[in-house]
Copies of this chain bind each other. A is one copy, B any other.
Amino acid sequence: MKINTEKLKEIVGKDNVRDNIADLYVYASDASVHRNIPDVVVRPQTIGQVQDIMRYAYQHKIPVVPRGAGSGMSGQTVPLNGGIVLDMKCMDNIIEIRPEDVLCKVESGVVNDELNRALKPYGFFFPPTPSSGRICTIGGMIGNNASGIRSVKYGATRDAVIGMKVVLANGDLVTLGSNTRVDSSGYQLAKLMVGSEGTLGVVVEATLQISPLPKFRAMGVANFDTLEDAGRMISETIAQGITPSMLELMDNVAITAVNNAQHLGLPDVAAIVVFECNGMVREAVDFDMKRIANICEKNKGTDIRVSDDPVEMTRIYEGRKKLFPSLSKYGEGLFTTALADDMAVPMSKISETVHEIHTIAKRNHVVMSAYGHCGAGLIHTKILMDTRKKSQWQDAKKAVKEVYEFVHSVGGTTSGEHGIGFSKGPAWKKEKKDSLEMMRSIKKALDPYNILNPGKLMDSPDDWLTATALRYQTISK
């Protein structure tokens, strides 16, 4: 593959084409375990430039990997086959905010938190809340159907995206979806684009439903001596028609990690559940908090606390908030890897799944913590292991395989919010085996030369571990 960087410089200007090794190295990895160097990084400023880049790539059959902040955990933006990385972060205009229509229009490089800062004066927010909100872009959130702690109430990115502009593989610009809450106008291609990980087109603009900022909120916490009790508490809350704005689980590994790293003195119990309700009416928030607290009690929750004091709420949430950065402090020489990190299971299978994750981890000589947005059926894990040892990667590979086998056996799905990329390719291809052909035919129809983010999803390698170099250095067997 010979890429004519001069041609690309003509399109976007020379400062926006990078092919020195330092830059390429930065764009070789995301938040996954993988690493592979692209040939060139291009930063378009306009839709027209994206179209010209795609026309050039289409003509010469050059791979193009659209990229937001690179905070994906499954290798979505690792350029498996080299080629062009299309850094969309310069297309960061908030085009319009229309509170009267309860929507906004943005370019896909807009950062989630910046959008929310812009919406705040209007009394609105954009509900999906990935923990990478400080850096992640709307385009990346669309690519992965990101959600986060508020998904239990507000759903995921797909639920909030009602329209978009997309540049197709051949450079054509299409407008998908609409400006309206309800829409039965034929194929809903905007919804198909959400979660397609840059393999079907480059999202350049999005129309987003926004939500009114709640006026009141309260937070609560309860401890549980068994995972079963915590799991029952979670599914009972949902089944009773309560809609908390957050319903989070932390298992003992997570608690230990936070205590080791932050010295918060969280209790050494099997599980902590943190919950929040929000709304426009204080009485309704209080009422629901009381109901959740009662469900905690009924399921043997202890040390149940509820508060709407901002300082106390910050304290309650502190452990959960600092969990991810704390994980690498769980034990000496154990590093955090984003593997088998976001499966979703039917509500009633949460505690059983968390249990099994611990068993599998133990059997395979790694540590796995389970936590996450269990109110939406989402379980986060990370594999903690000595990434310097080659054997630990084999352990991890086995653990990953076993976790997904279990998740699928209880009717769960491979990814709840982080996407498939190629880290999860082997497990996901098994889960979706009867529809892979259907997906491939849609991909081929829209991208006949397979230039858009090739090697992901249904085309991902059968062994994630050997698919690329690792972002971690191994120094021993």
In the complex, the answer to whether B416 meets A184 with C-beta atoms within 8 Å is yes
B residues near A103, Cβ cutoff 8 Å: 346
A425 to chain B, nearest CB (A): 10
B residues near A227, Cβ cutoff 8 Å: none
In the complex, the answer to whether A182 meets B344 with C-beta atoms within 8 Å is yes
B residues near A211, Cβ cutoff 8 Å: 241
Among the stretches A187-195, A260-268, A387-395, the one at the interface with B is A187-195
The copy count of this chain in the complex is 2
In the complex, the answer to whether B458 meets A186 with C-beta atoms within 8 Å is yes
In the complex, the answer to whether A242 meets B280 with C-beta atoms within 8 Å is yes
In the complex, the answer to whether A101 meets B184 with C-beta atoms within 8 Å is no
In the complex, the answer to whether B457 meets A446 with C-beta atoms within 8 Å is no
A189 to chain B, nearest CB (A): 6
Checking B144, B184, B191 against A184 with a beta-carbon cut-off of 8 angstroms, the contacting residue is: B144
How many residues on A have C-beta within 8 angstroms of the other chain's C-beta atoms? 95
Asked if A3 is at the interface (CB within 8 A of a chain B CB), the reply is: no
Asked if A276 is at the interface (CB within 8 A of a chain B CB), the reply is: no
Asked if A378 is at the interface (CB within 8 A of a chain B CB), the reply is: yes
A105 to B336, CA, bound (A): 38
B residues near A184, Cβ cutoff 8 Å: 144-147, 156, 195, 342, 415-420
Within A421-455, which residues are at the interface with B (CB < 8 Å)? 428, 431-432, 434-435, 437-439, 441-442, 444-446
Within A279-311, which residues are at the interface with B (CB < 8 Å)? 279-281, 283-284, 287-288
Asked if A131 is at the interface (CB within 8 A of a chain B CB), the reply is: no
Which residues of A come within 8 Å of B, CB atoms? Answer: 98-103, 123, 144-147, 151-152, 155-156, 158-159, 168, 172-176, 178-189, 191-192, 194-197, 200, 211-214, 235, 238-242, 279-281, 283-284, 287-288, 342, 344-349, 373, 376-378, 411-420, 428, 431-432, 434-435, 437-439, 441-442, 444-446, 457-458
